[in-house]
Amino acid sequence: MERKHLCAALLLWAIVYFVLPVSSDNLLRVGLKKQSLDVNSINAARVARLQDRYGKNVNGIEKKLGDSDLDIVSLKNYLDAQYYGEIGVGSPPQKFKVIFDTGSSNLWVPSSRCYFSIACWFHSKYKASKSTTYTRNGESCSIRYGTGSISGHFSQDNVQVGDLVVKDQVFIEATREPSITFIIAKFDGILGLGFQEISVGNATPVWYNMVGQGLVKEQVFSFWINRDATAKEGGELVFGGVDSNHFKGNHTYVPLTQKGYWQFNMGDFLIGNASTGVCAGGCAAIVDSGTSLLAGPTTVVTQINHAIGAEGIVSMECKTIVSQYGEMIWNLLVSGVKPDQVCSQAGLCYFNGAQHVSSNIRTVVERETEGSSVGEAPLCTACEMAVVWMQNQLKQKETKERVLEYVNQLCEKLPSPMGESVIDCSMISAMPNITFTIKDKAYVLTPEQYILKTGEGITTICMSGFAALDVPPPRGPLWILGDVFMGVYHTVFDYGNSRLGFAEAV
């Protein structure tokens, strides 16, 4: 998906960090401070939604710690959710806290000319007049977010990341930040580590310039994210190689299937030991350090939340489908009607040449929003989910009554509009493992690893680490493996060989 006018960051939580001196092994570490999780902050910052990030239509290099040509940014964990680091822009360097985000490709920081946005009052601002290496560009640009946008203009200056100084980097000076998200955020800006294909304005990403200017020996960077809530060190971002202290065994590498995001093909997805069947033939997935949770199709996330006892908002459309059309859907499936034709034969969807939409809103779709997404057709979407669930139960030879009861229960577990679901903390030990299959290897997440805890004692709240995100074909279904996954599996972003590597983190 092109990102000329659209990129976003999932701002579920925020992190701050500080720079530590270069150690005796010539590696710079940037530490992040941990603070207690604040439910109010979570709710306020959740407004930048996943859908607007990805759209609705929408030979191992393992250098050892101590190699002098590695640049290490040490991270500390704030709220077990986002990981930030400090960079410098200009000469002398002006300091900014940024998200190192593999899901976007631009660098932006607030501008000193940001006069009318409250967010700019609370964050560091770039002052071009204070830099001896500043070069004017002036081309206007904007980046859309879930509940707002930033806008400004391109500028050019030196950018310091750890010990590395990237010369003549084109970045965005944000002169408007109207979203409340940016007001409460602990970070100042974002440093994208994705590919140029999704760069707004086709600006060359910082990582590309690191490689092009010969600042790294190997064309690879790697993330270690520490999910230990009691640890002082929250993780590391290594440019130019891999820190062998933070993984065990060897990395398993999988080739990239599409440049833009760090995208690859993922195999079967299991709840406990049972396949969901959704990705048995393969699913597109990306690794995204800018996303706190694991995001996937609503159909599967609902099954996960049902299996772990998570409680979401009841979907009236879903329950309506079960009560009024459940038996019809069952009979159509049993009679041999193809699953992708069931909802249209039931009169709930029709095919508009690209995808199914609800027959109830056909006139509106044709007149005003031709080609609109399935997300605008709730009954059609609910029917298609019910078909997936029923078909899976049919394979297990369950009775009609039990299947309809099961689907109705899944309806009650549909995530809330922002995708989050809460669970009973006392039930964690009884929850199933969740398994991703990547290149025929199982990557298991235990309940302790995919459940997020907030608060302490009787005020503790446990949240499911899975959020719903529906990206229709041909781009989707799409899974986003965010910090919940990266915290368990050390990840190598091998730019030189167009692949990703995963190993168990330590």
Four-residue CA torsion sign, 397, 400, 401, 404 = positive
Instruction: Specify whether 340 is catalytic.
Output: no
Q: Which candidate in 80, 157, 288, 470 is catalytic?
A: 288
For residue 504, give the DSSP letter.
Answer: E
Give yes or no for a cis peptide into 92 (omega within 30° of 0). yes
Backbone angles phi, psi at 71, to 5 degrees: -115, 115
Concerning whether 25 is annotated as a catalytic residue, the answer is no
* Whole-angstrom distance, CA of residue 19 vs CA of residue 292: 23
Handedness of CA 317, 319, 324, 325 (dihedral sign): positive
Q: Report the alpha-carbon distance of residue 418 to residue 181 in Å, rounded.
A: 14
Structure tokens at 263: 């995208």
> Helix 316-334 vs helix 400-412: angle between axes, to the nearest 10 degrees?
150
Spatial contact of 117 and 303, defined as CB atoms under 8 Å apart: no
CA dist 175 and 171 (Å) reads 13
Across 142-157, b (16+ Cβ under 10 Å) vs e yields bbbbbebbbbbbbbbb
- CB atoms under 10 Å from CB of 506, counted, come to 12
> 52, 71, 101, 470: which is the annotated catalytic residue?
101
The SS3 assignment for 406 reads helix
Q: Is 240 helix (H, G, I), strand (E, B) or coil?
A: coil
- DSSP state string for 415-455: PPTTS--EE-GGGGGGSPPEEEEETTEEEEE-HHHHEEEES
The catalytic residue positions are 101, 288
